[in-house]
Structure 1
């Protein structure tokens, strides 16, 4: 294999001392093996990679139309997982023609495919609703079947991270302990300090984790003393923006980030919170770091998520005496009802009713 300058297999090329396969759908270059490896190894690796992208094409027109819909609209969606929804739906409806789909078909597929995942049912219904509306707009059918699809609403999340647990998770982000040769050792987590800053900014600004991940230094307006946020969740709906005052606590976190960056103040569209390569963290990376910290803190059973940080921040602010109107502004909610519901889910009332067991006269 080492002597050949090109492989006899389609889309396989030598590059940087290894064989690479140019994956036909995404165009990605996938490393197969070193040039010095045997041809058997090359064939096995190529077969494994091909298997990942192979799919049963089906007999209907819905799958290729979903492919077209995703190609045309993927750049309009910030969520990296959005194209994956097209893969799931395309596989499920590969033998179906778009014109024949009825609400009951969508309902049955959602409830069977995602039987125990109510949130995913709603995500996929939203994707299919957008797809069928695109079909209506392009004259491929007259109605959107998802308009008649009714799903059970997931139970409201009531989890609240206690102060002690929050502190333990933050601390667990910095180090990891392991046992080797009967001896327990502690190792520094390289990304720990930055991830801790991420958690702190989520809490102190009361913003969604997505907006902290995507926060850039251009939004940090020290001349006015605020951080400008246009929450991603409201960008395409209410359009509500919010300016968060740079409190001494927030300024301290920003200073820690500059210190982590070697004392260099990054500017412009550079992400405030970033990975070791300087790029913004993806949702998966943040979630993994949080989950690992919860595991090291022995809090896995609590099922805490990154989104619970915002819930804790709002609840703590209410308990500190801030008005519901102030919290509405901070959370960029369109009305106080949303904020009140958000808080009621986590702040359990305490009854002071006192009774005595009746006695006979």
Structure 2
């Protein structure tokens, strides 16, 4: 599908040979002007997608510049207005754009973010995004979390294929239940890390600490349970070995979340001129990437630091780093690997 503006009124046009040719002709008549105003684009995309009688609404944002022609407040307002209305993948093309803007947009609209450092790779990346978008089958999926009286939800995170904080996105869904938005799903799997605090009890007691399910909204305002459900049990024991052992999956994804965090901290410190602090954080990142088998992130880190000993996290900052390499590391820092079998 392509979009067009006629008499300043946005409309959708079905894509076929004739309309594609018309779109190309129209684009050739355009001239650059007005600067980069991503919030304006998001609101227009929302208007166009809202007029479509379809369940899955998906946008793709490509930018080669920073959002310099509207205020951060305007962009935040646009993101708040569009959240939950459509999913959006965001790509930065070249290196003259702001990583935190692109990743923030994708996060707010439950899409993916990446860099296309060489514009020559844009067609292939766009094709891949379109194939992924066309593969989505269910829209507006939510993780529903029910907890009993006295239980406190500490956090809810997506931990694979990327780290995404969901805790503050909760909407109430009845007594002691809340929904956390997950966007559109296709033939895929994702992992989540949930932490709940339960009231104290006696040795040998057991309780249901949480019930997790996936739901989607129905037109009548109710929800449909997708059939996936998990029960979280809490058991009190005086077995020190059992109570202090960390589940391997929890340990793995806790490390992956820390990996994303220390990469961001290290790059921020490097930009601020705190090279000792940056070395420490990025060294820890190298250590975590090596221990967890996250080879892709390890390769990206090796373009920013010289690795002396990956096991101990001993590194030296490179004197010169290509801007594209640094931006790629920052953009992809939240990508994780699944726990080893």
**Common fold by TM > 0.5:** no
| TM-score, normalised with respect to structure 2 | 0.23
Point out the structure with the larger helix share. 1
Point out the structure with the larger strand share. 2
